Homo-oligomer: A and B are copies of this chain.
Amino acid sequence: MMKSSATKVNPDLAKERGTASFNTTELTYLLHGGRQKTERKRFLESLLVKDPVFSKEDAYVLDRKHGYERSLQKGLRAVELAKEHHITDPDEMSMLEKLSGAIFPFHLSKVMFIPTLKGQGSEEQKAKWLPLAESYQIIGTYAQTELGHGTYVRGLETTATYDKTTQEIVIHSPSLSACKWWPGNLGKSSNFAIVPARLIVDKKDHGIQMFIVQLRDRQTHQPLPGITVGDIGAKFSTLMNGGDNGYLMFNHVRIPLNQMLMGLAKLSPDGIFTKPANPKLLYGTMSFVRAVIVRDSCWLLSRALTVAIRYSAVRRQSQLKPGEPESQIIAYKTQQYKLLPGLAMAYATKFTFDHVWRLYEEMQKKIAAGDFSMLPEVHAITSGLKAFSTSTSMRHTETCRLACGGHGYLLYSSLPELYTILNASCTYEGDNDVLYLQVARYLIKSASQVQEGKAPPLSLSFLSGKTELCPVKSGAGFLDPRVQRKIYQDRTSCEVMTVAERLQSRIFSGMDSADAWNEVSVDLVRCAKGYSNCVMVLYLLESMEKLSGVSSNLRRVLKSLADLFVLWGIAENSGSFLEAGVLDCGQIQIIRQQVYALMDQLRPEAVSLVDAFDYSDYVLNSPLGRLRWQRI
């Protein structure tokens, strides 16, 4: 046994770290945007670690009430810390929140109330409300979803009736199903909300508009007259229990006319309504939120993997060979097959997000210059990637939990909690299947363009009526990015064109187009899922090619991870590639063997690949995932 300070590391973990072929710090800096940003993140974390308010010791034992109180305390303390340390960047406040493992009481204020004000408020409204919200003088939420209305926004029932006589708007919940339900920080924390409601002027319905409504007294925090508000109860995630999701009903609550957001739509005092000049602008915000969820799915999955992979290096169970000592469970191929494809997914998601983010920023620039052309494509891409990344990360995180056996089932392993948050993200900001169907609309439209001889959009430039069998016959051949790209593109092309034809043939034979859409919708979802996977493969491969200033050792490991992501996706969904006629059974066998070969290559890198995410023990808060692991 070693005697130096290095002895503090569990020898199995130390051994695993010794087998990595790349420099972990180099990868950490690459993942976090350089040394400076990494150090800044660590500095923010250090503020939390030394502050008792942010202790996570009792994170897994607090009941709902105390969990909420703790979130509140952390939020307040974070605001103080930001003042003390001159933290003004809102992204850094978000980072403090993430690292602390809490939902701050002003979470929705930051992610929805303020951005909606910025996006849809008039200059006058922004001048009045933004300083109040940004200085925490008011805490706002965003109250859209109703008990009876989630996916279908046009179905919202809450009314906002203009009373010309007083120049007020009357906000009202006409039924129980109109009750707002789910908004975060609504149950207890917020005193204001932006409320989407149907604007009614002189009995004419102008559709859903946005209104700023005060919910609680700014001094006593008691609900104002006409407001019924409270907490909706326990949720799957215990962390989200700290987020005080709430319900809210209005009984003819009057607000002044100037609390309708008028940056886009307008209502004059004499009741003349003007539609927004470009309603598509709203899609921009949705793309933003969905891209952020892609990033968050990586943040959650990579923590689960850090826990499960470190545990698998340290846990010894059963004998690989009779008479030997019990083996590290990471040595079992079945365990590697559980964890390494998830690791590849986490890295693929990270590089995909970076790519999508650049796309989003490019679109925002164009929009500012009056060019909206990128909107439909970015909307489809972000919707598909949101659905694909959350579903797939949820699946891998569940596998991490199962891979840790009984220990993984205890809350303090952190794995149940990570699973439940990913589970929520499959529903919020658009149910994944509903999103896939939105993507499918875009795919079918593009297929029609191809059929009409027009050029499809950029991300679907490969769409065509023809698919050919891939000519590659060797494992090494399938590591060629051009081959990988072509396989995924051809699969998607075949699936899109086939389902488009199936849809059209139904319509041609007289079926109502809405019925026909429903009839083939299971296939549409499958095809949108395949497309989203394909987008991820394309972005990942492009990112790998564009990597600059990266050492050859690191580049080689990242290439293996990318290969594993691409080829595992084929091996696990072999049916769709076979059915599309892109690959034959012999090639699937070769690919499967290549996946196993990649696992052999990546196993010695695995612990260092999770180390590179740079999660401290404080952030992970899991005895199974500790950086040093003392042998017991």
Task: Name A's B-contacting residues (CB within 8 A).
Answer: 60-61, 63-64, 145, 147-152, 155, 175-177, 181-182, 232-236, 316-322, 326, 331-334, 337-338, 398, 401-402, 405-406, 408-412, 416, 420, 423-424, 426-428, 431-433, 437, 512, 514-515, 518-519, 521-523, 525, 573-579, 581, 585, 588-589, 592, 596, 632
Contact = CB atoms under 8 A, between A and B. Distances in A.
B234 A317 contact: no
B518 A332 contact: yes
| Residue from A236, A581, A585 having most chain B Cβ neighbours under 10 A | A236
10 contacts: A155-B317, A155-B318, A181-B406, A233-B410, A236-B410, A320-B518, A333-B522, A406-B427, A574-B578, A575-B576
Contact of A398 (B149, B322, B332, B423): B423
Given A234-B411, A514-B320, A150 B575 contact: no
Contacts of A317: 149-152, 155
Nearest to A514: B321
A574 B580 CA distance: 12
Given A233-B60, A574-B579, A405 B150 contact: yes
Given A147-B632, A182-B406, A522-B337, A585 B579 contact: yes
B632 A177 contact: yes
Copies per complex of this chain: 2
A412 B64 CA distance: 14
B150 A411 contact: no
A148 B632 CA distance: 9
Nearest to A518: B333
| Residue from A406, A588, A589 having most chain B Cβ neighbours under 10 A | A406
A197 B282 CA distance: 65
Contact of A632 (B155, B176, B318, B320): B176
Given A423-B398, A437-B334, A585-B581, A236 B318 contact: no
Contacts of A525: 334
A518 B319 CA distance: 11
A388 B512 CA distance: 41
Contact of A61 (B182, B234, B320, B433): B234
A187 B319 CA distance: 31
A509 to B, nearest CB: 15
A149 B401 CA distance: 17
Q: Return the 10 tightest CB-CB contacts between A and B, nearest first.
A: A574-B575, A575-B575, A63-B63, A236-B416, A152-B318, A234-B411, A321-B514, A176-B632, A337-B522, A578-B578
A152 B316 CA distance: 10
Contacts of A175: 632
A391 B424 CA distance: 20
Nearest to A241: B411
Contacts of A338: 433
A58 to B, nearest CB: 11
B406 A150 contact: yes
A533 to B, nearest CB: 15
A409 B574 contact: no
Contacts of A411: 233-236
Contacts of A596: 519, 522
Nearest to A433: B334
Given A150-B405, A431-B405, A235 B63 contact: no
A405 B151 contact: yes
Contact of A232 (B410, B420, B589): B410
| Residue from A155, A182, A333, A401 having most chain B Cβ neighbours under 10 A | A333
Contacts of A401: 236, 423
A321 B515 CA distance: 8
Contact of A406 (B60, B322, B428, B588): B428
Contacts of A177: 632
A176 B630 CA distance: 12
B423 A409 contact: yes
Given A326-B152, A410-B235, A596-B522, A579 B589 contact: yes
A406 B181 CA distance: 9
A512 B320 CA distance: 11
